[in-house]
Amino acid sequence: MHSASMVTAEMRDMLPLRITSLAMFFSLTWLLFGFPCLVCASFLQSYPATMFTAANTTLPGCPSRCGNLTIPYPFGVGRGCSFGDHFVIACDLENNSSVPRLSGKQVLDISETQLVTTARPVATACNSVGTGSGEDITWYNVNFTSQPYAVSSTANKFVVTGCHRFGYIEAQTIVGREVASCVALCTSKEDLLDEMCSGIGCCEAPIPKGLQFWNTALQKINYTTSVSSGNCSYAFILEKSSFNIRGSPDAVRLKNVPIVLDWFVPNQLCKDAQQNSATYACQQNTTCVDLDKVLSVIGYRCKCLHGYEGNPYLSPGCTDIDQCAGGNTPCSGTCVNTPGSYECYCPIGYYGDGRKDGTGCRASSLKLVLGLGNYYSMSFDSALI
């Protein structure tokens, strides 16, 4: 894999040629067919996020909350309370309120698999001229390499707003170079007020899996209309449901939109991590899940075994779920809890698997009738013969 600096230089050298060629294609499509063509690369994988279920979610003696946000281990408030420096949450006091921050960005939520934070940098291009040659490129790069974070491909999208702008993401992942792109065109100034992000004043595209190191570019493209692009244009990644097009956005507002990051234990897969018990993150009654195929990152997650619950990263590990406790058991007969599971038994005189989702317990039809003296009789349910 290329180093971060090598990839940055290579990508930057390639951007003008690639973007200019694609921008010409978009412009030609608009002129010939009257609609924009959106080109993007998408590799979607569902990986649902759920909350930890445990009475204790932090290391002993460490704060469990910052403001209204619960901070579950491996995250922790301050050093010594987390699983390494990349999981340290700073709890800052701002306007008499505690605000959790990760690397300076506000943390809005933490789940078992994802972290919601405020948006990363926004590519911005502003000009007041209504025509352009497509020469200049505004771009930035973000590098999460060797960190336990990747941009979620299922929870986020790439958005470009403005007139006659081509937005472009080029990323280096473990499967190679990935691309996401789209173009926003306008026929009139009113297009900027369109609430639909369908290529008129705004466009969007899915993003690749495993997004840890990427460049975002925003370029003015050739066009023949006399519409002034006037307002600024923006290219950015954000959480899918958080952005509603109501007029052209501004950079100040975009700094506060959320982005969803997948988090994991980085730089090792399960087989290698399990060789060192001192640094292996998974505790008792857990399983290790490789993420190279799930998220296209080198890393793993810990998960409670079936029938167990709790925080799989926090010692001593996950605890057994007593599925026979309480009045609503899974058995129609007698429920007996076992480690990680349970067993159902029918009372004497009944047969079946004893499960509510199975055959349950049914009364046996075999009857023995004892008579007087040396006589007896037996009767059978014909359905059982």
What integer pLDDT is reported at residue 378 of this predicted model? 41
pLDDT digits (tens, 9 = 90+) for 281-292: 999 999 999 999
- For 239, phi then psi, to 5°, come to -65, 140
Residue 118 host element (H or E): strand 114-118
Which residue bears the tokens 């999460």? 144
More confident residue, 245 or 56: 56
User: What phi, psi does 228 have (nearest 5°)?
Assistant: -80, 135
For 274-283, how does the pLDDT look when each residue is reduced to its tens digit (9 = 90+)?
A: 999 999 999 9
User: Nearest 5 degrees, angle CA 178-CA 179-CA 184?
Assistant: 170
Q: Are 209 and 295 in contact (CB under 8 A)?
A: yes
Reported as a single tens digit per residue, the pLDDT across 27-51 is 434 333 333 333 332 222 333 344 5
| 192 pLDDT above the threshold of 90 | no
Domain boundaries, the chain: 4-46+118-263, 65-110, 265-320, 334-384
d(CA 181, CA 158) in angstroms, rounded, equals: 8
With 90 as the cut, is the pLDDT of residue 64 above it? yes
Q: Position of tokens 């001229």?
A: 129
- Give the pairing type, strands 76-77 and 88-94: parallel
The residue among 112, 104, 205 whose CA lies nearest residue 158 is 205
pLDDT at position 225, please? 56
CA separation (Å) from 199 to 156, 231, 251, 270? 18, 17, 20, 43
Token pair, residue 208, equals 């690749």
Contacts of 133 (CB under 8 A, 6+ apart): 220, 222
Exposed/middle/buried for residue 63 (C-beta within 10 Å: 0-12, 13-18, 19+): middle
pLDDT value at position 223?
62
What pLDDT does 350 receive?
A: 93
d(CA 29, CA 13): 26
pLDDT grade for 232, boundaries at 50, 70 and 90: confident
